[in-house]
Amino acid sequence: MAEGEDMATTTLGVREPVADDSRTDILLAAADCFMERGYAATSVDDVARRLGATKGRIYHHFPSKADLFTGVFRHGMDRIYAAVEPYRNMPGPAVERWKKIAFVHTVRMMRSKTLARVVWEGVEMHLRGATTPEQRVVLADLVQYRNGYSDIFRRTISQARDEGDFDFDDVAITVQSMFMALNSPIFWYVPRDGETEEHVTGIAKQIVTFAYRGLGGKGELNL
pLDDT in tens, 10-53: 334 433 444 447 889 999 999 999 888 888 888 999 999 998 88
Mean pLDDT across the chain: 85
Q: What is the 3-class SS of 108-125, one letter each residue?
A: HHHHCHHHHHHHHHHHHH
pLDDT at 9: 38
Judged against a pLDDT cut of 90, whether residue 149 lies above it is answered with yes
Give the span between the Cα atoms of 65 and 218, in whole angstroms.
47
Whether 27 contacts 21, CB under 8 Å: no
**pLDDT band at 8; cut points 50, 70, 90:** very low
DSSP string, 34-55: HHHH-TTT--HHHHHHHHTS-H
**pLDDT band at 93; cut points 50, 70, 90:** very high
What pTM was estimated for this model as a whole?
0.82
Give the span between the Cα atoms of 189 and 182, in whole angstroms.
12
Q: Reply yes or no on domain 6-214 having CATH 2.40.30.10.
A: no
Where are the chain's structural domains?
Answer: 6-214
Rounded alpha-carbon distances, angstroms, from residue 56 to 21, 43, 62, 64:
16, 13, 10, 11
**pLDDT band at 146; cut points 50, 70, 90:** confident
Q: Is 168 exposed, middle or buried (0-12, 13-18, 19+ CB in 10 A)?
A: middle
**DSSP at 12:** T
**pLDDT band at 4; cut points 50, 70, 90:** very low
Give the span between the Cα atoms of 37 and 184, in whole angstroms.
19
For the residues 70-97, what does the mean pLDDT come to?
Answer: 92
